[in-house]
Amino acid sequence: METIKTNDYTITIDNGLFDNIAQLLKTHTNGTCHIIVDSKVYKLYQESLKKNLEAINYTITIVRDGEGSKSFTTYQDTVAKLIQKGIRRDDLLVALGGGVIGDLCGFIAATLYRGIPFVQIPTTLLSMVDSSIGGKTAINLPQGKNLVGAFNMPEAVFIDPEFLSTLEENQLRSGLVEVYKAALLGDKNLLEDLKVDRLDNQVIKRAIEVKRIIVEQDPYDQGTRLVLNFGHTFGHAIEKAHNFETYTHGEAVAEGIIMALQIGVDQGITPNALCHEIKAILLEKHLVTEPLLNYKDYLPYISHDKKMSRDGLRFVFLKDYEHPVIKTIDQGAL
């Protein structure tokens, strides 16, 4: 068993942890556990869910799987169901699923009755190493992603890597890109270890450690936490340009990482050799495929939200391994 202590909560990683989930949840509430789960995860795990929760009071609320559920409609609908089920302020909300469920459930937990404690049980690689960590919760608006949200730390994060056995290959790759991003930002040795193709609990732990350290320096995203956006400015633009269909989040971010490296070279920040080395790794691991996308095609899709300061686009470059730099650039100069 691996544990990581953050300033606010503990993250536990253990194979088979879900079999003991009732015990773990009991340490966080004397009330009812309200599980929010997506339809796909529910279908796959309903038997073990029923068996593992036998010893506690619980309810299950199922939402449709997919990004579309990070919406006001699903928020309102889910909250209505929870109220109908008699949810109280001293109950516990439980997010069982990927980043969509974590973000939605966390936002409900932040807002329903002005706050209900919640725990995260991430079931995708992306949610294990990224979205369940750091306390950002949100839903989307027609105007853009994650525009309404709250900082809301969970009581705990329980990671059972055995969930990954049912994850589709492209979703696994999507999460792996975030592991690579973490390695590039803060753990060069992890990059070495990833060369041998092993995704074990240590890899998950080390990727989380990188995020934990960055988040704890800037929990409310006032400055340095932006480095976690490495590859995401163009990553989000690519997702948007292709209507969130052609590329998974991670696949788009992998292309976005290469674009950030290339622009970094043009700006005199990223050494050419570093750019080539990282590009070669991402190609070799099939996280991107040739022909690579051209960043100029995606400039019109860059979102003008929190990445924009009054002076221009706040962009994350890589000066060296473990040395991200944030620089404001004039988008017209790209």
Q: Which residues sit at the interface with ligand NAD, rule CB under 6 A?
A: 38, 40-41, 44, 65-67, 70, 97-101, 103, 123-124, 126-127, 130-131, 134, 136, 145-146, 163, 166-167, 171, 174, 249
- Toward ligand NAD, which CB reaches closer, 136 or 206? 136
Tell me which residue has tokens 């469920």.
101
CB of 45 to ligand NAD, least distance (A): 8
Q: Supply 28's token pair.
A: 């966080």
DSSP state of 294: P
CB of 267 to ligand NAD, least distance (A): 26
Q: Which of 184, 182, 180 is nearest to 284 (CA)?
A: 180
CB of 307 to ligand NAD, least distance (A): 14
CA–CA dist 141, 305 (Å, integer): 13
Q: Which of 268, 250, 328, 332 is nearest to 296 (CA)?
A: 332
CB of 202 to ligand NAD, least distance (A): 20
As separate numbers, helices (DSSP H) first and strands (DSSP E) second, the chain gives 11, 12
Per-state percent for the chain, helix, strand, coil, to nearest 5: 50, 20, 30
The beta-strand segments (E) located in the chain are 2-5, 10-13, 33-38, 58-63, 92-97, 118-122, 136-141, 144-151, 156-159, 308-309, 312-320, 323-329
State the amino acid at position 197 in one-letter form: D
CB of 333 to ligand NAD, least distance (A): 28
CB of 134 to ligand NAD, least distance (A): 5
Q: Supply 86's token pair.
A: 């008699």
The residue number with the shortest CB distance to ligand NAD is 99
